[in-house]
Structure 1
Amino acid sequence: MAEASSIRPQSAASIEQWDFEADVVVAGYGIAGVSASIEAARAGADVLVLERTSGWGGAAALAGGFIYLGGGTPLQQALGFEDSPANMKSFMMAALGPGADEEKITDYCEGSVEHYNWLVDNGVPFKESFYGQPGWETPFDDGLMYSGGENSAPFNTIATPAPRGHVPQMSGKRTGEKGGGFMLMKPLIETAESLGVRAEYDMRVQRLVVDGDRVVGIIAKQYGKEVAVRARTGVVLATGSFAYNEAMIQSYAPRLIGRPGAAIEEHDGKAIQMAQALGADLAHMDATEVAFFGDPQLMIRGILVNGRGQRYVNEDTYPGRIGQETLLRNENQAYLIIDEASYEEGCAADSSTPFFRFQPKWVAETVEELESDMGLPEGTLQSTVEVYNRHAARGEDPVLGKKKEWVKPIGSPVAALDLRNFTAGFTLGGLRTSINSEVIHVSGEPIPGLFAAGRCTAGVCAGGYASGTSLGDGSFYGRRAGISAAKG
């Protein structure tokens, strides 16, 4: 963690010369930063982006590209799915809690259709095609998919299911390398450049500059030299999460120790610390999304059991929820119990994550033999499979509510995939912000001149997650940050 002295705010009076100046200075050129830049420029501001790496994109450009949108977007309507802001809110409040910010979620849902149109107007392409198979993301160029377990228990009884994972159309996608997120970022960057947004690269932000209680700039290091950057109307922090700051993980989200993932190493929490040094409030710092390294096409055809041989989650839900349930509530212990026919069927299905299709570790003719080979307490797995099969024979799963289409008795031969410790994650907590993306002081008042968006903030997610909420609220509240910063 950075030394306290290195992140303390610096007085503007101590700066003899500004190396760069702009009306709005944005730290970070990922999804939140580019969205802020576009709206600030359209509001008439001169905008300068400070990017730590040698190019734009951040974690967004490597992401699968889901943007969580709903409420009746043109894409939803074109594909025959009905949705409303109220229905979307019902799901988000249930799935993204406990502690979800109702004001922010209400605001996000009510503005979702307009935000979709904004993305399209700025060149982001969406194909009118729905991908209805289980998966972390679509392996094709489809534009819409369920991305949060909306059509699975318990959420399908809380709100009318509607797919809200909107994916920019892109060919030649490579998961984790050049995903749909690249096709989200590219047109937005081109829009920002056309509006005159400037960018300086290899800029490592160090601390904020203040004039009294107002933020008026940033001190950064560029190519090892310290530079002062003046912001005439506002500073926007958009530098990502703290997933790769080991000391912060130990302090706030210890269940992720040694398990960073779905983020980039530049996500070091520096912006959070800089704002904390000014008295910024934080929220949901222990909240984490958890990736589970299992292929959904296999998981959905079997049953997941913990170290006690018990089922603990419906296998047809959002894989990120499976990850959370595994790591946070079941000691990271998971086995997939599946019969030979279902395993072969799952391996033959289309998938964006075929590299998560692992060979079984144990294979047996009976569940009793499998249980013994796995070293599970005697009778535990047998009881679990017996109860599951009894109800599955009628196409039912009254224990966890897996959808009928995926409920099938487990036959013989039967196998177990060893999925223990197959998780990684990223942080969801950060700076507390208003719906206008103002950074909130611990007193409850906005810090003048300071705004933030993206994963360095506590956005619409609290305890839970749905794929697309990071790119969704990052771009949505990035826009708000840009507008607010341009006003001053």
Structure 2
Amino acid sequence: MADATPLRPLPAAEATWDRTADVVVAGYGIAGVCAAIEAARAGSRVLILERTSGWGGAAALAGGFIYLGGGTPLQKALGFEDSPENMEKFMLAALGPGADEDKIADYCRGSVEHYEWLVANGVPFKAEFWGEPGWEPPHDEGLMYSGGENAAPFNTVAEPAPRGHVPQMSNKRTGSKGGGYMLMKPLAETAEKLGVTAEYDVRIQRLIVDGDRVVGVVAKQYGKELDIRAEHGVVLATGSFAYHDRMIEGFAPRLIGRPGAAIEEHDGIAIRVAQALGADLAHMDATEVAFFGDPQMMARGILVNGRGQRYVPEDTYPGRIGQLTLFHQENQAYLIIGEAAYEQSLTTETSTPFFRQPPTWAAETIAELESDMGLPELALQSTVELYNKHAVDGKDPLLGKKQEWTKPLEGPFAAFDMRGFTAGFTLGGLRTDLDSRVLHVSGEPIPGLFAAGRCTSGVCAGGYASGTSLGDGSFYGRRAGIAAAKN
């Protein structure tokens, strides 16, 4: 169904100005708050327009990973060596194909300074490392591997270093109030102290232009249309298009029918209003895929597809497992694990206990399990035989699972039906330069228009690591605020 809201820009001559600010920011999530802080520090009067009734966006509900490295003080305090060049090697290998090399190099070289900026603005990090498999630290530890850096194939591309920096927070509730809350809270408080004004329950409708320059936005609050002038620039920071069905069908069809691992306010409005001005897009088909499995169990077992074959090193980043399952295995997955390994996994701590469900099948032998699962005779048996043959020596020549997790499967056995255990969100969006200026299809910046966060194509072009959304959203949100204030 077509959107009823007109998206074409409104000529400034037809606007009846209701509000004026130097910099108008659409969206009060991580990209928006960082843009607001930097614009305010540059001397601009800043107005944030937020469609919900409070600050936070998707960031406040997230686990809170910020992907940082290159030798941050937290990495050094915990004894991990890293460099911008090493970080760049990993990101180029893991976040492609077609990753923006200039943007990744820029991000890696500015990563340490960005960490220091976050700390200076009140974001707390505890100098403690969580080294167990998991979606995120179950306590308030500040550092964790969050992208498969220490798993095949990336541990052969760059020296592994943990880069998932998590704000310190106690009593976290994954999915409802995670570490992302303690990222947003101090930043929102900083913005307020700087005099940033916020209007809530406001939805942007379209942009206002004077010639080819963006000079404001049309928004709606409680049914009333408002024309809001931006003397210096407009920053778009309204999130992805994960909850816009028509955009999913047109750009990211692999997510059709999958739950959105985002918030429903991510309806692509920033992309659509900028498209109406001729804005260029990038990597609109790129998506991250969450996989609803327990990493402690997966690392101790083997994941097989609908043909009973292994297809991924089970000790890698769960988001990579999700992508490989949905994109390359028709969303078909089963976890096979021995009884002793299963019971051992249940003794470990986890931030996602709801992923620990009883097995679907149990059997004394792999042959029985194979039959119960409805797999072709010898399909699973041959997979387990090959795996066990090398696992006796702690080796996995097929997929490269690390020695600490590569142990023979021993019965009795359990199997988990994990078909369809995926959800996703989009990674593509507006094409921007290193100053977060939105680029026209001609390659030139659109005057007065800036963007950051998941409404843009950031450092991810296909692959993903937890923390890259909050990382490049905050990093390039800052750039957007600085550039808009100077505009």
Q: Give yes or no for TM over 0.5.
A: yes
SS at match of 1:395: coil
Structure 2 partner of 1:155: 154
Structure 2 partner of 1:171: 170
Give, in whole Å, the separation in 2 of the partners of 1:34 and 1:96.
25
Structure 1 partner of 2:339: 340
Structure 1 partner of 2:436: 437
Give, in whole Å, the separation in 1 of the partners of 2:101 and 2:87.
12
Contact 1:48–1:198 at 8 Å: present in 2 too?
Answer: yes
Contact 2:259–2:422 at 8 Å: present in 1 too?
Answer: no
Shift of 1:260: 3.2
Structure 2 partner of 1:12: 12
Give, in whole Å, the separation in 1 of the partners of 2:59 and 2:257.
22
Residues 37-186 of structure 1 mapped to structure 2, 5 A cutoff? 37-186=36-185
1:453 and 2:478 matched: no
Give, in whole Å, the separation in 2 of the partners of 1:378 and 1:93.
41
Name the amino acid aligned to 1:465. Y
Structure 1 partner of 2:363: 364
Give, in whole Å, the separation in 2 of the partners of 1:55 and 1:225.
19
Name the amino acid aligned to 2:88. K
Shift of 1:194: 0.4
Instruction: After superposition, give the CA deviation of every residue in 1:463-487 in whole Å (9 maximum; x if it has no partner).
Output: 1000000000000000000001111
Contact 2:244–2:268 at 8 Å: present in 1 too?
Answer: yes
Name the amino acid aligned to 2:295. P
Give, in whole Å, the separation in 2 of the partners of 1:169 and 1:275.
36
Contact 1:243–1:260 at 8 Å: present in 2 too?
Answer: no
Shift of 1:125: 0.2
Deviant stretches of 4+, over 2 Å: 1-5
Give, in whole Å, the separation in 2 of the partners of 1:170 and 1:279.
42
SS at match of 1:131: coil
Give, in whole Å, the separation in 2 of the partners of 1:64 and 1:261.
16
Give, in whole Å, the separation in 1 of the partners of 2:19 and 2:472.
29
Give, in whole Å, the separation in 2 of the partners of 1:261 and 1:208.
27
Instruction: After superposition, give the CA deviation of every residue in 1:412-467 in whole Å (9 maximum; x if it has no partner).
Output: 11111000000001000000000100000000000000000000000000010000
SS at match of 1:228: strand
SS at match of 2:230: strand
Structure 1 partner of 2:21: 22
Deviates more, 1:61-70 or 1:349-358: 349-358
Deviates more, 1:250-259 or 1:379-388: 250-259
Give, in whole Å, the separation in 2 of the partners of 1:419 and 1:204.
38
Give, in whole Å, the separation in 2 of the partners of 1:487 and 1:462.
29
Give, in whole Å, the separation in 2 of the partners of 1:63 and 1:362.
33
Give, in whole Å, the separation in 1 of the partners of 2:3 and 2:29.
26
1:253 and 2:249 matched: no
Contact 1:144–1:165 at 8 Å: present in 2 too?
Answer: yes
Instruction: After superposition, give the CA deviation of every residue in 1:124-171 in whole Å (9 maximum; x if it has no partner).
Output: 000000000000000000000000000000000000000000000001
SS at match of 2:454: helix
Give, in whole Å, the separation in 2 of the partners of 1:432 and 1:330.
30
Structure 2 partner of 1:234: 233
Name the amino acid aligned to 1:105. I
Structure 1 partner of 2:421: 422
Contact 1:151–1:161 at 8 Å: present in 2 too?
Answer: yes
Name the amino acid aligned to 1:115. H
Give, in whole Å, the separation in 2 of the partners of 1:121 and 1:196.
18
Shift of 1:258: 2.3
Contact 1:360–1:415 at 8 Å: present in 2 too?
Answer: yes
1:479 and 2:478 matched: yes
Question: TM-score, with normalisation over the residues of structure 1?
Answer: 0.99
Structure 2 partner of 1:195: 194
Give, in whole Å, the separation in 2 of the partners of 1:304 and 1:471.
29
Shift of 1:347: 1.1
Mind listing any 5+ residue stretches in structure 1 that lack a counterpart?
A: none
Name the amino acid aligned to 1:262. A
SS at match of 1:221: strand
Give, in whole Å, the separation in 1 of the partners of 2:257 and 2:28.
27
1:375 and 2:360 matched: no
Instruction: After superposition, give the CA deviation of every residue in 1:91-150 in whole Å (9 maximum; x if it has no partner).
Output: 000000001000000000000000000000000000000000000000000000000000
Give, in whole Å, the separation in 2 of the partners of 1:445 and 1:326.
39
Give, in whole Å, the separation in 1 of the partners of 2:480 and 2:2.
26
Question: TM-score, with normalisation over the residues of structure 2?
Answer: 0.99
Give, in whole Å, the separation in 1 of the partners of 2:53 and 2:389.
58
Contact 2:394–2:406 at 8 Å: present in 1 too?
Answer: yes
Contact 1:244–1:260 at 8 Å: present in 2 too?
Answer: no
SS at match of 2:49: strand
Shift of 1:4: 7.9
Length, aligned pairs only: 487
Structure 2 partner of 1:264: 263
Contact 2:5–2:205 at 8 Å: present in 1 too?
Answer: no
Residues 260-299 of structure 1 mapped to structure 2, 5 A cutoff? 260-299=259-298
Name the amino acid aligned to 1:96. L
Give, in whole Å, the separation in 1 of the partners of 2:187 and 2:240.
21
Give, in whole Å, the separation in 1 of the partners of 2:443 and 2:402.
45
Name the amino acid aligned to 1:194. K
Structure 1 partner of 2:384: 385
Name the amino acid aligned to 2:84. P
Contact 2:301–2:314 at 8 Å: present in 1 too?
Answer: yes
Instruction: After superposition, give the CA deviation of every residue in 1:278-300 in whole Å (9 maximum; x if it has no partner).
Output: 00000010111000000001101
Give, in whole Å, the separation in 1 of the partners of 2:322 and 2:481.
34
Structure 2 partner of 1:32: 31
Contact 1:146–1:164 at 8 Å: present in 2 too?
Answer: yes
Give, in whole Å, the separation in 2 of the partners of 1:245 and 1:324.
20
Give, in whole Å, the separation in 1 of the partners of 2:132 and 2:260.
24
Give, in whole Å, the separation in 1 of the partners of 2:333 and 2:280.
36
Give, in whole Å, the separation in 1 of the partners of 2:238 and 2:103.
20
SS at match of 2:395: coil
Structure 2 partner of 1:410: 409
Contact 1:7–1:273 at 8 Å: present in 2 too?
Answer: yes
Deviates more, 1:307-316 or 1:358-367: 358-367
Name the amino acid aligned to 2:316. T
Instruction: After superposition, give the CA deviation of every residue in 1:219-270 in whole Å (9 maximum; x if it has no partner).
Output: 0000111111000000000000000000100101111112233310000001
SS at match of 1:6: coil
Name the amino acid aligned to 2:348. A
Mind listing any 5+ residue stretches in structure 2 that lack a counterpart?
A: none
Shift of 1:2: 5.1
Shift of 1:3: 3.8
SS at match of 1:19: strand
